[in-house]
Amino acid sequence: MPCCRAAPQCGFARKTANFMCTSSESHHSNRRFPPKSTDERVEWMNEAIRGHPIAEPRELNHVPRSIMTVQQVAQALHVSTREVVRMAEQRILPGLRVKDRWEFRAGEIWNWIEKNIESLPKRRERDPHPAVPSDLLLTHVLTPRAVRLNTAPKTKSALLRALADLAAECDPTIDAVHLASELAQREQVSSTALERGVAVPHPRKPIYLEQPVLAAMRTSNGLAFGERAGGLTDLFFLICAPDHVSHLLFLGRLCRLFIDDSLIKDLRAAEDADDFIALLTSAEHRLCRTADIQR
């Protein structure tokens, strides 16, 4: 049986036949995805006529496996490298000894933090030689558009949906409904509430983004958000990061800042979004300046 490329005579029909033949071969070569709907067939036809290849869709939430060093883990946890090594040697922290150095998988560190998030501030307070990175994080990401003050959600699910909507306003590529579902599933595993009425909701795994997204919300009345001591939570900081390492850095920075009771008190008294952000960025600058002096 002659090939379908030999039948057409005109240029348009010849290109169309080439497209159809290539599509039929794609089942075996996996070079292209076959069109499944009428709209997809039209799109594929137009691309074939123009001679442009169809790019395969990028898998969402695909995060490469990352290996972290002792210094990177110390930076994420805001503790000293000595403390990281001590925790690894005592098998408190998941790590692998490779010759004369320690290596850590970012995903395993993420999971460890998820289970020990409430103990991080106290662990940092006990560390006699804390290592604090000098790179600014919150200052470059948090904007007034991503801050809502004096909101009044009545339930945890309403609060999570409001945070997801706020993140979607900052980055239109975020699906607010899907993000709210991810946040709710994460809270079912264990609460992201810290002490002092602060919580750091985040998805169970990184999501595909060009840049990290940070959103903040202060409620007029505290919510029962799962704090272990049973207190209410009124300050919420949503973290959406494209990879494990970025997530760990932002989470570590926020947890480190919230050791300061005076900062939390000032955030509750902030009059507007600009004042709220100024308090956070000022605290971060002081933290990083202290690190530079220690170096």
Stretch 228-255: mean pLDDT, rounded?
87
- pLDDT at position 16 is 46
Please tell me the least confidently modeled range out of 21-30, 146-155, 197-206.
21-30
Which range is most confident: 52-56, 146-150, 256-260? 146-150
- Using 50, 70 and 90 to split pLDDT, how confident is the model at 115? confident
What is the tens place of the pLDDT at every residue in 46-83?
A: 554 444 443 333 333 333 457 888 888 887 777 788 88
- pLDDT at position 47 is 54
Could you tell me which of 209, 165, 169 has the C-alpha nearest to residue 60? 209
- pLDDT at position 62 is 36
CATH architecture of the domain covering 67-126: Orthogonal Bundle (1.10)
* Domain spans, the chain: 11-50, 67-126, 138-294
Stretch 90-111: mean pLDDT, rounded?
86
pTM of the full structure:
0.63
- pLDDT at position 26 is 41
- Using 50, 70 and 90 to split pLDDT, how confident is the model at 235? very high
For residue 291, is pLDDT > 60? no
For the chain, the DSSP string reads ---TTSS--SHHHHHHHHHHHHHHHHHHH-SSPPP-SHHHHHHHHHHHHHTPPPPPPPPTT-----EE-HHHHHHHHTS-HHHHHHHHHTTSS--EEETTEEEEEHHHHHHHHHHHGGGHHHHHHH-SS--------HHHH--GGGEEEEE---SHHHHHHHHHHHHHHH-TTS-HHHHHHHHHHHHHHS--B-STTEE----SS----SS-EEEEEEEEEEE----TT---EEEEEEEE-SSHHHHHHHHHHHHHHTT-HHHHHHHHH--SHHHHHHHHHHHHHHHHHHHHHH-
Do the domains at 67-126 and 138-294 have one common CATH topology?
A: no
Fold designation for 138-294: Mannitol-specific EII; Chain A (3.40.930)
- What is the residue-averaged pLDDT of the chain? 76
- pLDDT at position 108 is 83
How far apart CA 40 and CA 288 sit, in angstroms, is: 51
Q: Which residue has the higher pLDDT, 119 or 181?
A: 181
- The answer to whether the CB of 276 falls within 8 A of the CB of 216 is yes
